Amino acid sequence: MKPRQQRMWFVAIIFSGIALATVLVLLSLGENMMYFYSPSQISKGEVPRDAVIRVGGLVVNDSVVHDDKNLGVRFKLTDTANTITVYYHGILPDLFREGQGIVAIGEIDAAGQMKANEVLAKHDENYMPPEVADALKTAAEGGSMPIPDSHTHK
Amino acid sequence: MIPEFGNFALVMALGIALVQSIVPLVGAVQNNSRMMAVAVPAARLQFVCVAISFLCLTISFIQNDFSVLYVAKNSNSLLPLHYRISAVWGSHEGSLLLWALILSGWTIAVSIFKKSLPLTLSSRVLAILGIISVGFLLFLLLTSNPFLRLFPAAAEGNDLNPLLQDPGLIFHPPILYMGYVGLAVPFAFAIAALLQGRIDASWTRWSRPWALVAWIFLTLGIALGSWWAYYELGWGGWWFWDPVENASFMPWLVTTALLHSLAVTEQRNTFKAWTLLLSIFGFSLSLLGTFLVRSGVLVSVHAFATDPARGVFILIFLAFVIGSALFLYAWRASAIISLGRFSALSRETLLLINNVLLLVACATILVGTLYPLFMDAMQLGKISVGPPYFDKVFAPLMLLLVFVLGFGPMTHWRKDTFKNLINRLLKSALISALLGMAFVLLIFGPAPLLTTLAVVLGVWVIASSLATFKNHLGKDKPLDRLRLLPLAYFGMLVAHIGVGVFIIGVTLVSTYEQSETVRLAVGESYTLANRRFELADLTSVQGPNYNAEQATIKIFRGDHLVSTQFPEKRFYHSSSQPMTEAGIDAGLFRDFYISLGEPQQGNAWTMRLNYKPFVRWIWLGALLMAFGGLLAVLDRRYRKKQEGAN
């Protein structure tokens, strides 16, 4: 090939690569994006049904109930303004504890409860997932804010 | 006293790095060899200062000096000595100091091996490495000083994060950093080439082994991280498309492209400007990775620094380095002329396709990693891009790449014909199709189409590599030819076979892994993948700084005891955080992986049983790739030319 042709060849291959990538990204990005919601948004019904979402908040103290027979677990998740119920089947991560900030991934059912497919707790105990920190901040600025363990004053 | 000394050494290093970056550059412009000669002693002195500083921090850790904030946060007097040493790089400040130490280590290596290089080129390279050092030393001193004192001193340290108390974590960060930071060397070579406006044979012969060594470390570092995550995080995953993993994987992809482009530049005297661009991209992505990991902008299991000042500093440094490099490229690249000519069907074209596919793969990962940050910054909602995106985008690109890979080494440079190519490869294509299908069918039975295709392509890479090798030996006197083959050629073969092994491993483990969460009381058992897992016993164990509950799990095949595993749940004294230590029965063709969940009433535990077929092939493939790289570095031509020039 002459230098000019060679350059065109270069450009052609690069552009087909870019085109391929664009198609792949457009096809996959939309359907694999998960939006983050706070418990308050879920309580207000802002979340579309059947969408896989991420929810973050603090696990309410003394709210975790294990079902020993089928490894089910239920707990309450709060952003201090509102609280939702999450249920999950399987082993919770090591760092899952009451009072701890966690993120759950799953769907909201007809009763407004969350069916989690995955529960994430971060690997540093002093670490708060930034989304959770934000949700807490927003809820706090919203005015009403009972403390996380208000259910459990003994 | 020691921490102050370390701090002082760090300030000294900064001053020397400034001299190292300015004086030789000015000297190169004025053609003043005395000024250029400053580069070498400055680089060595800088290394000594950074090393002293690093040593001081290490001593503070060994002596449990909890008056140093960083030590108090990341160590504990009960921590065993080897973890006290690895705790030096267990968190943000120390790992940056390690970054700086490794950078000055690479710089000093360049200054030692540079004998055959023209003085102007070598002093420019050292000066550019000096500029990068200045950036990181400033970053350390201004935002992340590991020597800050804590007053009053803490009575006891916080302890190292239990996850990091593991032999894998002693080696993973230094090796990965060797790769990350090593990319600074080809980058500096590229900038120096742009400054002087030409690339000659000595430049390529120089840049290539350095890029290779960095790539080897990067490969090993990523593989080690993956292996560590597999056995330590307790749920048997080996890759999560976590942003921090992506941050190390993106430079790897670009550097892989760079190695192939350098091969074309060296052999065929073409692709020159492209090679320079890839060198710039490689290091830019490694800086971007540092920014992503260290600024705390990421939602990630690795990111825990959340000081905005740090993010701003790295972002400015990033913009400065990448911006000025690309500006220089746009300005000077047209001066760099590629002479080699090639036709549409040639090894050059196939390597170009390889490069484009690798870059495109990198770009899709970049999009997936940065898109959530972009959405957040634009206030369009908080999103995250899940692993399915990456799997879906990455798999087709890699399969295409692997398909092309089979042809590459068999195609002639400059010009080839389809007819000859098919003649040479038809047999291996048929063999790999049959072998691949038979392989899946015999071990796992009828398989999904994509799985079969991926395995066939994995076998195709291996088969065509062997065919190329046979072709190279020829019919008469194969042994004589064998002796003449360069080591780099074997390196290529081994690395490519590694790719095949890797693809087969990834495909089989993702398709056929099985996992079950069960509750077992002592004496009970559960059957998964033809193995019976019996919980035989539960005991308590004492570690140096933790207590653990240990289960004894017996794995039976029929009535035959295959293996006994001891998974643990550890409770570290210094934190309320439990840790899962998985029990793994490892094998070349399958792993059985058991991790404990929570204790239950009636002497029982919940636990997760996993069957992971061919999971070891993933790391075996990566090891083969790295070993192939090593063979290529050791090739005679890199040594001989340098010795000859002395």
For chain A, the domains span 1-32, 34-152
**B360 contacts in A (CB within 8 Å)?**
17-18, 20-21
User: Does the beta-carbon distance from A13 to B368 stay under 8 Å?
Assistant: no
Q: Compute the C-alpha angle A95/A99/A103, nearest 5°.
A: 60
Q: If you measure CA to CA, which chain B residue comes closest to A127? A: B304
pLDDT band at A148 (very low <50, low <70, confident <90, very high): very low
pLDDT value at residue B312: 79
Q: Are residues B298 and B390 in the same domain?
A: yes
Residue of B130, B140, B184 lying closest to B19 (CA atoms): B130
Q: Are residues B269 and B317 in the same domain?
A: yes
The pairs formed by B316-320 with CB atoms below 8 angstroms and a separation of 24 or more are B317/B135, B317/B139, B317/B287, B318/B284, B318/B287, B318/B288, B318/B291, B320/B135
DSSP secondary structure letter of residue B149? B
* A124 and B CB contact within 8 Å: yes
The answer to whether residue A147 scores a pLDDT higher than 50 is: no
Q: Are residues B318 and B357 in the same domain?
A: yes
The residue type at B499 = V
Q: Are residues B362 and B431 in the same domain?
A: no
Q: If you measure CA to CA, which chain B residue comes closest to A18? A: B360
pLDDT value at residue B66: 93
Residue B643 domain-assigned (yes or no): no
Across the interface, of A21, A90, A122, the residue whose CB is closest to B363 is: A21
Across the interface, of A6, A16, A91, the residue whose CB is closest to B341 is: A6
Strand A114-120 to A83-89 pairing: parallel
Query: What does the pLDDT look like over A7-58, one tens digit per residue?
Result: 888 889 989 999 998 998 888 888 888 888 888 888 888 888 778 888 888 8
**A102 contacts in B (CB within 8 Å)?**
none
* A19 and B CB contact within 8 Å: no
User: Which residues of chain B carry a pLDDT beneath 70?
Assistant: 295-308, 576, 640-646
Query: What does the pLDDT look like over B604-617, one tens digit per residue?
Result: 999 999 999 999 99
Q: Describe the strand order of the beta sheet including B590-600 as a list of residue ranges.
A: B514-521, B604-613, B590-600, B583-585
**B608 contacts in A (CB within 8 Å)?**
90-91
Q: Are residues B430 and B296 in the same domain?
A: no
Residue B640 domain-assigned (yes or no): no
Across the interface, of A6, A10, A95, the residue whose CB is closest to B577 is: A95
Q: Are residues B211 and B318 in the same domain?
A: yes
User: Does the beta-carbon distance from A17 to B360 stay under 8 Å?
Assistant: yes
Q: Are residues B400 and B261 in the same domain?
A: yes
CB under 8 Å to B430, separation ≥6 — which residues? none
* A64 and B CB contact within 8 Å: no
User: Does the beta-carbon distance from A29 to B352 stay under 8 Å?
Assistant: no
User: Does the beta-carbon distance from A18 to B360 stay under 8 Å?
Assistant: yes
> A45 to chain B, minimum CA–CA distance in Å?
17
pLDDT value at residue A145: 34
Domain end position, chosen among B470, B488, B510: B510
**B73 contacts in A (CB within 8 Å)?**
none
User: Does the beta-carbon distance from A32 to B385 stay under 8 Å?
Assistant: yes
pLDDT value at residue A127: 54
User: Does the beta-carbon distance from B367 to A36 stay under 8 Å?
Assistant: no
Residue to substitute from A6, A7, A100, interface B, most B β-carbons within 10 A:
A6
Residue B184 domain-assigned (yes or no): no
Residue B373 domain-assigned (yes or no): yes
User: Does the beta-carbon distance from A33 to B363 stay under 8 Å?
Assistant: no
**B571 contacts in A (CB within 8 Å)?**
none
Strand B531-542 to A33-37 pairing: unpaired
Residue B620 domain-assigned (yes or no): no
CB under 8 Å to B62, separation ≥6 — which residues? B81, B84, B85
Q: Are residues B540 and B600 in the same domain?
A: yes
How many domains is chain B built from? 4
With tokens 């793994």, the residue in question is: B584
Residue of B579, B553, B557 lying closest to B566 (CA atoms): B553
**What CATH number is given for A34-152 in this structure?**
2.40.50.140
Residue of B545, B618, B548 lying closest to B583 (CA atoms): B548
pLDDT band at A143 (very low <50, low <70, confident <90, very high): very low
DSSP secondary structure letter of residue A31? G
Residue B602 domain-assigned (yes or no): yes
Residue to substitute from B350, B519, B577, B609, interface A, most A β-carbons within 10 A:
B577
Query: What does the pLDDT look like over A88-106, one tens digit per residue?
Result: 988 888 878 888 888 899 9
B544 lies in which domain range? Answer: 514-614
* A96 and B CB contact within 8 Å: no
Q: Are residues B399 and B256 in the same domain?
A: yes
Residue B331 domain-assigned (yes or no): yes
Q: Is the dihedral of CA B543, B546, B547, B549 positive or negative?
A: negative
Q: Are residues B213 and B154 in the same domain?
A: no
Residue B264 domain-assigned (yes or no): yes
pLDDT value at residue A129: 65
Across the interface, of A1, A10, A13, the residue whose CB is closest to B341 is: A1
The answer to whether residue A151 scores a pLDDT higher than 60 is: no
Q: Are residues B145 and B14 in the same domain?
A: yes
Quote the tokens at residue B243: 């942003």
Kind and range of the H or E element at B330? helix B308-332
Inter-residue contact B291 to B314 (CB < 8 Å): yes
Q: Are residues B290 and B386 in the same domain?
A: yes
